[in-house]
Amino acid sequence: MCSTAMYEDEFIEILNAHKLWLEGDKRGKRADLRGRYFSAKSISKCRSLREVDLRKAIMDGVDFMDLCHIRANFLFNEASLKGANFKDVCLMYSDLSGADLRGAIFTCADLGVCDLSDADLRGAELTHADLFRTCLERTNLSDAKLCGVHGDGRRIKSMVIDLYYIAYTTDVLWINNVSHKIEDWWEFSDAEIEKCEIELDWWRKMKPMLKNTIELSPAAPPSYKFWVW
């Protein structure tokens, strides 16, 4: 299916109709943006928006990349956003709690101080995304791609050592774009480490430190209690 551009007047009309639907007004209509994308040139008027309320909307596969030109508070809680593209988008302080974000793309997106509690991020692309102070309480992170992610410091802990991006959860350790179960890393042979494109000298030197760090500062489980720093 070919995507069609979303223009500003239509977008405002959809937001207003969706607002009525959320309020239970029969004149309203649930927003369904499947098969649409946003063009920077077509949403210039929307840049003045302070809040975009699309709670419970249907937005599977929508391309939000040009929303990077809007600095609004996005309310996407309980929305269907499977496979949506948020590459480079600033979503700071936005609410995506309970959203279906399976396979969504957040490459280089700013998710700082977002609420992603109870969201489904299975298979989501979080490469180089910023999750600083993000709420990941009960968030499903199974098979999420965490290469170069700036973790929240609780569910996802991250660091950079030399030329290697490190990220780990309770059970998975990422080194650059390779992930394995934490316990498997410690058992790998030299040949298996080389297959991961990791220099052996570096691994032999850093393995004890990484193992000690993860043991002393483990990532929090999904049921952890979020609190504001």
- Give bridge partners of residue 95 from the DSSP assignment: 75, 115
How far is Cα 148 from Cα 165, in angstroms, rounded to an integer? 5
Q: Say whether pLDDT at 229 is over 60.
A: no
Distances 225 to 2, 19, 80, 161 between C-alpha atoms, Å: 42, 31, 25, 29
Q: What is the pLDDT of residue 227?
A: 61
Lowest mean pLDDT among 1-5, 109-113, 161-165, 189-193: 1-5
pLDDT tens digits for range 128-156? 999 999 999 999 999 999 999 999 999 99
Which domains are assigned to the chain? Answer: 48-216 (2.160.20)
Q: Say whether pLDDT at 228 is over 60.
A: no
The number of angstroms, rounded, from the C-alpha of 96 to the middle of its chain's C-alpha atoms is 10
- pTM assigned to the model: 0.91
Mean pLDDT of 4-16: 84
pLDDT above 70 coverage of the chain, percent: 90
- Expressed in angstroms, the distance from the first to the final Cα of the chain is 44
What six digits make up the tokens of 212? 């000690």
- pLDDT bucket at 4, cuts 50 / 70 / 90: confident
- pLDDT bucket at 37, cuts 50 / 70 / 90: confident
SS3 of the chain: the string is CCCEEECHHHHHHHHHHHHHHHCCCCCCCCCECCCEEECHHHCHHHHHCCEEECCCCECCCCECHHHHHCCCEEECCCCECCCCECCCCECCCCECCCCECCCCECCCCECCCCECCCCECCCCECCCCECCCCECCCCECCCCECCCCECCCCCCEEEEECCEEEEECCCEEEECCEEEEHHHHHHCCHHHHHHCCCCHHHHHHHHHHHHHHHHHCCCCCCCCCCCCC
Q: What is the pLDDT of residue 12?
A: 85
User: Cβ(69)–Cβ(89) under 8 Å?
Assistant: no
How far is Cα 184 from Cα 172, in angstroms, rounded to an integer? 9
Rounded to the nearest integer, the mean pLDDT of the chain is 91
**Type of residue at 61:** G
Q: What is the pLDDT of residue 58?
A: 97
- pLDDT bucket at 94, cuts 50 / 70 / 90: very high
Q: What is the pLDDT of residue 64?
A: 85
Mean pLDDT of 174-189: 97
Q: Say whether pLDDT at 66 is over 80.
A: no
